[in-house]
Amino acid sequence: MSAETAGKVIKCRAAICWAPRKPLTIEEVEVDTPKVGEVRVKVVANGVCHSDLHVYKGDYENVEIRLKYPCILGHEAAGIVESIGEGVTSVSPGDHVITFFNAQCGECAFCKNPKTNMCLTRISDEEVMPDNQTRFKLNGKSVYHFCGISSLSEFIVLSEFKVGKINPKARLDRACIFSCGFATGYGSVVNLAKVEPNSKVAVWGMGTVGLSAVYGAYKSKAAIIIGVDTNDEKMEIAKKMGCTHFINPLKCKEENKTVVEAIKELTDGFGVDYAFDCVGHASCVRQAFDSTPIWGTTVVVGVSSPENKLSLDPNEFLYGKKLMGALLGGYKPRDCIPALVQEYVDGKHDIIENLFTGSVTLDEVDDAFQWLIQGKVLRTVVRY
C-alpha cells in the first residue's frame, strides 16, 4: 500500500445503516488512523452474511448484543493492510488479510484454553473501540462499528486481534467467505463435532453455513448426509455439496409425518449420529435433537431470537446424548482460519465456488440484502 495515506485520516465511501428496516445509503465517511494495537485495512471484498441481515432487519433489537445506530455493517471481509498502529506485530502494510468478529489475543485465559475460541481481551460485538470512540465519522458525528469490523466501508480500522494474514495468492473475493460463513459451517462438523467416516448426518438450513456443514460432512466421509430445508430449489446445490438425501418439512407435513420420522425412515429407524441446526430456531434444534439416538450429538450453529425457548427433559442426556454449540466452527481464528485459506489455495476446497451467487458494487449493496431476505442468493460479494 502507498505510504501517502499512513498517519492521515482517509475519506472514503461506506454503506450506512441508519436504523432497522431502513435502506442502506452510501455516504462519504472519515476513517481515523489506527491507534495502539489497531490496523487500517483497505477492503477488497465483503460477503453479505445473515448476521448482517439480522441487524438490517432489526432482529437483534431485544437481544443482549452491543449495537448502536447509525452503524456500518459487514464483518466477512478480505483486504490489504494500509497502515498499522503502535505495537502491531502480526501484520504489516501490504499484507493480505481476512477479518474475524471473534478476536484472538493469544494471551488471555480463554485464548490459552484449548476448549474455547472466545477471547477476553476484545469482545465480539464491539460498537466502539476500547477508548469508547469510533474510528468512523460522518459530518463530524460518530458512526458505530458492527462486530468491531464494519467492512461495508472502503477502509476500516479494527483490532490486530481480529485480522489474520493469508497467502496473497488467495482470491480475496473468495477468501472473504472463510472469515465467517464457510469456517462456521465446515468447522462445526470437522473441528467441533469431529464427524467420523460412515456416520449419519443431518443439517437444517441449506444457506451458506448449512451447505458448508454439508461439505464438512462430505469431506469427513459420512455415509448419509441429509439436508433439511423448506425451499426445494436448494436441493440441487445441497447435493452438489455432498447431500445424499433432501427433506422438505413442508412436504413432510403434507404427507402427515414429521421431519424426525422422515429422517428415521432413512436411517434404519435410529436417526442420525450428528445433527446440525444452521437455521437459528428452537423448533429446528428440537427436531435435530429428536433425530439423534441416545449416542447422538446435536450442534447448535444458528443464532436464535430471544423469544425462541428450548424445552428439554434432563433425563434425555443420561445415556450419553449430547447438545453443544458452535461459534465460528470452534476455530481459534488467527491460528486456524488462515490455514483453511491455504487449503483453498492448494486446491483442496474448490467446491466452495458453488456457494457464491454473484457480486455487486457498494452502490448495489442494499439490493444484495433484499435478495438475501427473499432467499434468492447464497453469498453475494461486495467488490470495492
229-279 pLDDT, tens digit each? 999 999 999 999 999 999 999 999 999 999 999 999 999 999 999 999 999
Retrieve residue 157's grid coordinates: 480500522
The one catalytic residue in 50, 54, 96, 349 is 54
DSSP letter string, 45-79: EEE--HHHHHHHHTTTTTSS----SSB----EEEE
The one catalytic residue in 105, 119, 176, 180 is 180
359, 380 Cβ separation under 8 angstroms: yes
Q: Dihedral of CA 106/107/113/117: which sign?
A: negative
Query: Active-site residue 119, yes or no?
Result: no
- Would you state the pLDDT for residue 132? 94
Strand-pair category, 322-325 with 297-300: parallel
Residues 211-240 have pLDDT tens digits of 999 999 999 999 999 999 999 999 999 999
The one catalytic residue in 17, 50, 51, 124 is 51
- Would you state the pLDDT for residue 61? 61
Domains located in the chain, CATH noted: 10-165+349-383 (3.90.180.10), 184-328 (3.40.50.720)
Closest CA to 49 of 104, 96, 120, 99: 99
Say what percent of the chain tops pLDDT 90. 86
301, 278 Cβ separation under 8 angstroms: yes
Compute the average pLDDT of residues 102-106: 96
SS3 298: strand
- Would you state the pLDDT for residue 1? 46
Residues 123-173 have pLDDT tens digits of 888 999 999 999 999 999 999 999 999 999 999 999 999 999 999 999 999
Which residue did the predictor score with more confidence, 59 or 255?
A: 255
Query: Active-site residue 50, yes or no?
Result: no
Reply yes or no on whether the pLDDT at 2 is more than 70: no
Name the band, by pLDDT with cuts 50, 70 and 90, for residue 46. very high
Query: Active-site residue 54, yes or no?
Result: yes
Reply yes or no on whether the pLDDT at 188 is more than 60: yes
- Would you state the pLDDT for residue 57? 85
The one catalytic residue in 50, 75, 96, 349 is 75
- Would you state the pLDDT for residue 64? 58
Query: Active-site residue 108, yes or no?
Result: no
Compute the average pLDDT of residues 373-380: 90
SS3 342: helix
Compute the average pLDDT of residues 100-119: 96
Name the band, by pLDDT with cuts 50, 70 and 90, for residue 63. low
Say what percent of the chain tops pLDDT 70. 97
Compute the average pLDDT of residues 330-352: 95
**What mean pLDDT value characterizes the chain?**
94
Name the band, by pLDDT with cuts 50, 70 and 90, for residue 308. confident
The one catalytic residue in 49, 71, 147, 284 is 49
Instruction: Give burial (CB, 10 Å; 0-12/13-18/19+) of 261.
Output: middle
Reply yes or no on whether the pLDDT at 114 is more than 90: yes
Query: Active-site residue 75, yes or no?
Result: yes
